[in-house]
Amino acid sequence: MVAGKVLGLSGLLTTGIKMKNKKSLGQNWLNNRTILNHIADLATRPNLSLCVEIGPGLGTLTSSLLRKFSKVIAIEYDSNLAQNLPGSFPGKNLTVINEDILKYDFSSLNEDYVIAGNIPYYITSPIIEKILTLDNPPARIVLLIQKEVAERIADSRETVLSLFVKNHATISLDSVVGKTEFTPPPKVDSQIIVLDPHPPIIDDKIFKFIKLGFSNPRKKLIHNLSSLKSKNDWAEIFNRLNLSPDARPADLSLNDWQRLSKS
């Protein structure tokens, strides 16, 4: 997974151990301590002592988190990184678990917690979906993700992902992190996104209907839903709900989708 890199700080880079990034795991090392500290600051919540870090990598974000939290559980998929990380923080309350974050059992946590991490672009959506639908969701989630994806999540022009996230959390976009801050530099910039979970606004079962509506995002929604009812029937329903018959899937809010699904 992805983590940071800062010269001259505690961590694998100062122990003489050289770790090569694995492109297949989306590993790009962040090399700006100010940004790493800022992520840790954003994750801090009153009276919470536990942070779960996704993909600690070389441990430089871990270092910042350990300054803010008395306990850190770091979930690392790369077995070599997971094996070497504990030795970089002797005496610290750090637990490193070598596991796929999508398989980690969060129900094992018996106290409130937050999540922080610099996560690979290719697995962003599955990670967000998992942590927002946990039975014991975190108090806050602070992630460094691809800038385009962060903007898409927060945009008023909706996607299935943006609607899903908004259904489960309040979204705040924070600092943009340029690709030159990473080693090796990725092809795109990143951005910090902060998610504060809340109870779902609509039933997640409605997302099966929403996904059908987005089957062809550029077409009129009435066309995409024509397998359920005739276009004329949908036109009457749209008129009754004060929705434009020319609406595209991106035009509808969560409440619009809920009303439409019940029609």
Fold (CATH) for 12-197: Rossmann fold (3.40.50)
Three-state secondary structure call for residue 80? helix
Per the CB < 8 A criterion, the answer to whether 205 and 262 are in contact is no
pTM: 0.86
Predicted pLDDT at 27: 61
Predicted pLDDT at 185: 83
Instruction: Give helix 160-168 / helix 254-261 axis angle, nearest 10°.
Output: 100
Domain edges within the chain: 12-197, 204-261
Three-state secondary structure call for residue 211? helix
How does the average pLDDT of the chain come out, rounded? 89
User: What pLDDT digit, counting tens, does each position of 140-177 carry?
Assistant: 999 999 999 999 999 999 999 999 999 999 999 999 99
Q: How far apart are CA 255 and CA 263, in angstroms?
A: 13
Predicted pLDDT at 146: 94
> Greatest CA separation found in the chain?
70
Q: Which CATH number fits domain 204-261: 3.50.50.60, 1.10.10.10, 1.10.8.100, 1.10.1270.20?
A: 1.10.8.100
Alpha helices in 23-145 (DSSP H): 33-43, 60-68, 79-84, 124-132
What residues of the chain score a pLDDT lower than 50?
1-26
